[in-house]
Amino acid sequence: MRITVVGSGYVGLVSGVCLAARGHDVTCVDLRKDVVAQLNVGVPHIYERGLPELLKSVLASARFRATTDLHASIEIAEIALIAVGTPSENGAIDLSAVRHCVRQIGAYLATTPHHLSVVVKSTVIPGTTDTLVREELEHSSGKKIGAFGLGMNPEFLREGEAIEDFMQSDRIVLGHEDERTLVRLEELYAPWSCDKVRVNTRTAEMIKYANNAILATQISVVNELANLCAAVGGVDALDVMRGVHLDKRWSPITALGRLAPQILTYLIPGCGFGGSCFPKDVQALRTQGQSLGLPMNMLNAVLDVNAAQPGQIVSILERKLGALSGRRTLVLGLSFKPNTDDVRESASIKIVLDLLRAEADVRCYDPLAMENFKLAIGIAADRIQFSSDWRREIEWAEIVIIATRTREYCELTSLRVAGKTVFDARRLINPAAGCSADYLSIGRRLN
C-alpha cells in the first residue's frame, strides 16, 4: 500500500519505517527541511534502538522517503496517518498541530476526486476524530465523510523498545468511521498476525488512554504503598511487592513454571513516572472528565502522588545527612527511562532542581540524554557539571543517586563506595550483593 505519515517524531518515524520494512511504500512528511534531509540519507534525528539500521534498509529498498511536500505525498496515497504532537497545555490536550495538519489535507481533498482515508495515529482524547477531525476535513474540503475515509489507529510504543513493539505488536486497534477505511486498515496490517480490535474511533481513542491511565495508576499506588512501608518501619516495599508479584493472577503458574510478565515492572517502587505519554495522557483524560462534570478522583490521586514522588529523594537525604549545601552529589540517569534520550517529564529534572535549591554540588551523567537535559533545565544547567565517565566521578562524589534503571549502574556494588551514600531511587541494585556504601532507597525506613 501507499502510505503517507505526517510527522516524524518518535511515533511517526518509527511507524513509517516499520510499515516500509513490512513491504508498504511510505512517505514521511515533516516541515523541517534539515530533518527531511537527514532522514533521506539514513540519519534519524531521534534516538531509538535499532532505528538507524532499519531506516537504512528501507531507504535502500526504495520503500521509504521523506519530504516537506504534504500534497505531493498524499495525492498517490491510500492512507494518510497523522502522527503529529499532542502536548499538554495546562493539563489539557493541545490539538493545534492536528487541526493544522487536517486543514492542509482537507485543502488538498477540495481539489481532487481522489479518495483518501485519513487515520489519526496521534494520541487524542475520545471524541476528537469523529468531531474535530471530521468537521475540519469537511469544512476545508467542502465534502462529507464518504468522499474521504476516517479512522483512528493508536500506537502502543515504549520508547527504547519502539521498533520491537511495532514489529511484534501485541494488539492492533483498527478504529474506523467507514467501511472503506476499515478495509484499508486491514490491508495495512495484514502482515501482522496479532489480535486486532475493530471498533469505532471513540473507542480506539479511549483504549489508548485507558491503557496508559491504568499503567500510571499501578505505578502511583505502588509508590504510595512504598512511602507507607517506610513510615511504618521494619518493612521493605520491595519485599512486599515480591510477595504481591507471586499472586498467580499477576504471575500465572504453567506446566513450564511460573511466568513473570512485563507488567510486573510497573509494580516496583521508584521516584515516579515521566516521559511523553503517561503524564500528559493522564492529565488530558482527567481534564476531559472534569469538563464533563466528573470529579476524576482516581486520576487526580495518581497525578498528585507522582508529582510528589521525586521530592522524596532530597527529603530522605536531608533527614539522613542534614543540610546538603556543598555536598558532592552525582546523579546517574537523566532520561525518564533507560535506552532513550527523552527527558520529557523526567523525575531527574525535579531531583536535580531540588538538589540545586539545597545548594548541593551536582554532577550528572546519562549515556544518551545529557544534551536534551541541558535544554530542558535551561540556565540551571550552568550550575551543573556533566560527566562523560560516571565511574571516574565516584571518587569525587559523597552522594550517588541512581535515577534511572540503567543496567550499567549495577556496577556500583563492585566500585569503591565505602563511606559514601548511594540512593537507589529505582531499586536497581541489591545492597546485599556487596554494596559497601550507606544504602538508601524508596520504600524503606532510614536506619
Q: Which residues are catalytic?
A: 277
The residues pairing with 82 across neighbouring beta strands, listed in sequence order, are 6, 120
Is 274 within any annotated ligand binding site? yes
Place of cell 554532577: 363
Is 160 within any annotated ligand binding site? no
Is 56 within any annotated ligand binding site? no
Is 156 within any annotated ligand binding site? yes
Is 320 within any annotated ligand binding site? no
Tell me how far apart the alpha carbons of residues 94 and 376 are, in angstroms, rounded to a whole number.
Answer: 20
Contact 278, 212 (CB under 8 A): yes
Sign of CA dihedral 247, 248, 250, 256: positive
Residues in the chain: 447
Question: How many other CB atoms sit within 10 Å of the CB of residue 87?
Answer: 13
**Residue 170, CA distances (Å) to 173, 192, 263, 340 in order:** 10, 10, 13, 22
Closest by Cα among 310, 367, 302, 321 to 341: 367
Tell me how far apart the alpha carbons of residues 8 and 31 are, in angstroms, rounded to a whole number.
Answer: 9
Is 269 within any annotated ligand binding site? yes
DSSP notation for 43-83 = --SS--TTHHHHHHHHHHTT-EEEES-HHHHHTT-SEEEE-
- 161: three-class secondary structure by DSSP: coil
Tell me how far apart the alpha carbons of residues 37 and 28 are, in angstroms, rounded to a whole number.
Answer: 12
Tell me how far apart the alpha carbons of residues 115 and 79 are, in angstroms, rounded to a whole number.
Answer: 9
Is 242 within any annotated ligand binding site? no
**Residue 24, CA distances (Å) to 5, 11, 16, 50, 78 in order:** 12, 17, 9, 19, 11
Is 267 within any annotated ligand binding site? yes
Is 280 within any annotated ligand binding site? yes
HSE, CB side, 13 Å, CA atoms: give it for residue 199. 19
Is 317 within any annotated ligand binding site? no
Question: How many other CB atoms sit within 10 Å of the CB of residue 312?
Answer: 25
Q: What residues contact 447, with CB distance under 8 A and at least 6 apart? A: none
Contact 148, 118 (CB under 8 A): yes
Contact 102, 139 (CB under 8 A): no
Contact 341, 362 (CB under 8 A): no
Is 374 within any annotated ligand binding site? no
Q: Which residues are annotated as a binding site for NAD(+)?
A: 30, 86, 123, 159, 280, 344
Output the known binding site for substrate.
156-159, 208, 266-270, 274, 337
Q: Annotated binding residues, as ranges?
A: 30, 86, 123, 156-159, 208, 266-270, 274, 280, 337, 344
